[in-house]
Amino acid sequence: IGSQVGDELRDQGGLALLVAAIAIMLYLWMRFEWRLATGALLALVHDVLIVLGIFAWLQINFDLTVLAAILAVIGYSLNDTIVVSDRIRENFRKIRKVKIVE
């Protein structure tokens, strides 16, 4: 972590990510089903961990630019997840009588 970003970013950033994850989970739970919300949150965590793993593996300094990149990944991943979940919900409405496996 560079000189711009210190202990305060680590502490408050971790707290902000936790609050944001809970808010995202609640939003998706209200908008879709709890299964889709759980899957969306796991996909979001997966995407962020992959990006952080690549930055750690390449030993790139963690500064505000990297933080902005991670926030962009979260935004794109969440947008993609909402689009896919909406399509799943539409398809469930069209074929309501068919079992989930089919």
Q: What is the dihedral of CA 20, 69, 55, 7, to 10 degrees?
A: -60
Residue type at 43 in one-letter notation? A
Whole-angstrom distance, CA of residue 18 vs CA of residue 21: 5
C-alpha to C-alpha distance for 41 and 18, rounded to whole angstroms: 11
pLDDT band at 10 (very low <50, low <70, confident <90, very high): low
Q: Give residue 87's pLDDT.
A: 85
Residue ranges of alpha helices (H) inside the chain are 7-31, 34-57, 64-94
* Cα–Cα dist 48/71, whole Å: 9
Q: Is the pLDDT of residue 68 over 90?
A: no
Provide the whole-model pTM. Answer: 0.67
